[in-house]
Structure 1
Amino acid sequence: MTSGAAGAASGTVTLLVNPAAGGNAGERIAARAARRLLSRGVEVDVVAGRDAAETRERARACVSAGADVLAVAGGDGMVHLALQELARTSTALAVLPSGTGNDFARALGIPSADPDAAADVVLGGVRRRIDLGRCSPPAGGGRPLWFGTVLTSGFDSLVVERTDRMRWPRGRLRYAAAVMAELGRLRPLPFTIEADGHEEHLEGMLVAVGNTAFYGGGMRICPHADPGDGRLAVTAVGPATAGQLLRAFPRIYRGTHATHPLVRTFHANSVRLHTPGMRAYADGEPAGPLPLHAEAVAGAVEVLVPR
């Protein structure tokens, strides 16, 4: 990460709200943050969209108008939406976590259990430029997609798809329940990975490409990821039984799975990933069908982080 100036101790903050995040927690946390910022003399401009498309349109308008700080009240989906407009601009991103995963906020060290402490990062945090991942089909076409946390495919894609279909339980427990359900259909997949021009073929359960370490509500899937080194961290899990994955599952939260014999980790500036009939997800959002090409873009976004 590249250090910069202090946060928005004065001036104007644009507050982008997703009312539906975390069971309407986004709206409550946004209102609480706005009161705290106003009490410290910071002018707050609150904007909200009725759906994802309108919210992104409003984020784009704020950036185009030269907003200094865009504070996002929501979860990883809202952050992902905002990154599409903030990448390679001078507008800084602040995160007021109110989603179920909050993995981007976790990677930045922003407290998710204390809304006042998160608002204080907007007031007095440090501005830093960090890397983002960018993915697109290898043949080009379509707008590239930016991601702040992890691009994943394989078993994880199936889990994310099942998680999105579930309405209960909530948060981390819902993801864990989806994992258990998909374990019953477990099968290895034929992956092709091209990392910095070197191609290899392997059978495995999943491949995760991380700009930061966390996904799935706190799982440290890419423990060696550093959003300030200009590289992506890759974690590949080889063929495994359901029992082996279950036993390794707790280690993912600690990041100690990287030493497991079935796990391989490495870094690359760019990665091309393919397995037939599979989709990828970035920041937990659909990234499209494979093959996809991902690359690290150094210093692509400015963020506010705790001092």
Structure 2
Amino acid sequence: MTSEITLFVNPTAGRGRGAHAAQPAARALRDAGFSVRTVLGADAEDALRRAREAVAAGTGALVAVGGDGMVSLALRAVAGTPTPLGVVAVGTGNDFARSLRLPVRDPAAAGRLAADLLKGGGGRDIDLGRVGDRWFGTVLASGFDSRVNDRGNRMRLPVGRFKYDLAMIAELASFRPVPYRLTLDDRTERQVEATLVAVGNGTSYGGGMRICAGARMDDGLFDVTVVGDCSRTTLIKVFPQVYRGTHLDHPEVTVHRVRTLTLDAPGVTGYADGEPLGPLPLTATCVPGALRVLAPADAPAH
């Protein structure tokens, strides 16, 4: 393994935390004896091209500095390769890092952990989800939650997470359950009226909302959370439970464990790791051991 490590940096993550976080992370890696090269890129596609070039050239690791969007981009460079992925989580949600119990908003600690694991030949293999040529590490969202994303992304003001709170209130006022057709493992077809369907490789989205609280990242299966035909009142009452994962006990919530799933519903966009995938129908496949990640082997995979 080469001693050169590539930092894959989003300078705008966390309202500018990405650029600042790169420095202590790089310092920790250099102090451990690694040489560090930084990849920025003029835009997402340029950054991805540069990251893929670094992986093809044999970099010792690709370390994503930013939030879940940056991790999502990094997966497109390292998934299915032996190059390990490190994460310096300084975004808004950081759900990928949370699922693996990695340091959050502590770039020096994240850099030290990555260096220790690289020196010890450590890390672990985890599953990833795949939709077409796109990979995801945490959750594929569809339904109410993806419509909140749609509306929030169209809003210019306010900035930050508050606009998604306003988008949620607006969606609650107009939302109706959606008729879904689900095909589980290419054989079982179910038609349900659902508020949302979330496909979890990891446990959470939205900065700690544990929508797929029982998901494991090393079992070769998705946890698919189906929230049924809920009234607005029920949805408002159940919503706080999502942060604890106790919503899974609600009678309107069903969980399926599958390797593949096709989601189909009219007028719904799928989002994975917070990034838009496109309109349904979409087919997601769990790919076992698709990623080597710099996370402790003894940390829970959920």
2:250 equivalent among 253, 260, 266: 260
Equivalent position amino acid for 2:172 in 1:
L
Contact 1:175 1:216 in 2 (8 A): no
1:46 aligns with 2:38: yes
1:108 aligns with 2:74: no
Give how far 1:86 is off. 0.8
Match of 1:18 in 2: 10
1:286 aligns with 2:276: yes
1:276 equivalent among 242, 261, 266: 266
Contact 1:80 1:148 in 2 (8 A): yes
Query: Separation in 2 of the partners of 1:243 and 1:87?
Result: 41
Equivalent position amino acid for 2:240 in 1:
P
Q: How does 1:156-305 map to 2 (within 5 A)?
A: 156-166=145-155, 167-168=157-158, 170-171=160-161, 173-196=162-185, 197-305=187-295
Deviations for 1:78-114, whole angstroms, at most 9, x for unmatched residues?
Answer: 1001101211101100000111111101111111132
**2:82 partner SS:** coil
Match of 1:99 in 2: 91
Contact 2:90 2:106 in 1 (8 A): no
1:135 equivalent among 121, 131, 150: 131
Query: Separation in 2 of the partners of 1:237 and 1:179?
Result: 16
1:121 equivalent among 100, 110, 113: 113
Gaps in structure 1 of 5+ consecutive residues: 1-7, 137-143
Give how far 1:176 is off. 3.3
Equivalent position amino acid for 2:125 in 1:
R
Query: Separation in 2 of the partners of 1:106 and 1:239?
Result: 30
Give how far 1:164 is off. 2.2
Query: Separation in 1 of the partners of 2:283 and 2:206?
Result: 22
Give how far 1:120 is off. 1.4
Query: Separation in 1 of the partners of 2:106 and 2:80?
Result: 30
Give how far 1:165 is off. 3.0
Structure 2 length as normaliser, TM-score? Answer: 0.92
Matched pairs, number: 291
Structure 1 length as normaliser, TM-score? Answer: 0.91
Give how far 1:174 is off. 4.4
Query: Separation in 2 of the partners of 1:32 and 1:120?
Result: 10
Deviations for 1:225-269, whole angstroms, at most 9, x for unmatched residues?
Answer: 111000111000111111111111111010010000111111001
Query: Separation in 1 of the partners of 2:242 and 2:76?
Result: 28
Give how far 1:13 is off. 1.2
Query: Separation in 1 of the partners of 2:164 and 2:109?
Result: 27
Contact 2:40 2:47 in 1 (8 A): yes
Give how far 1:52 is off. 0.7
Match of 1:3 in 2: none
Q: Aligned residues: percent identity? A: 48
Query: Separation in 2 of the partners of 1:174 and 1:298?
Result: 36
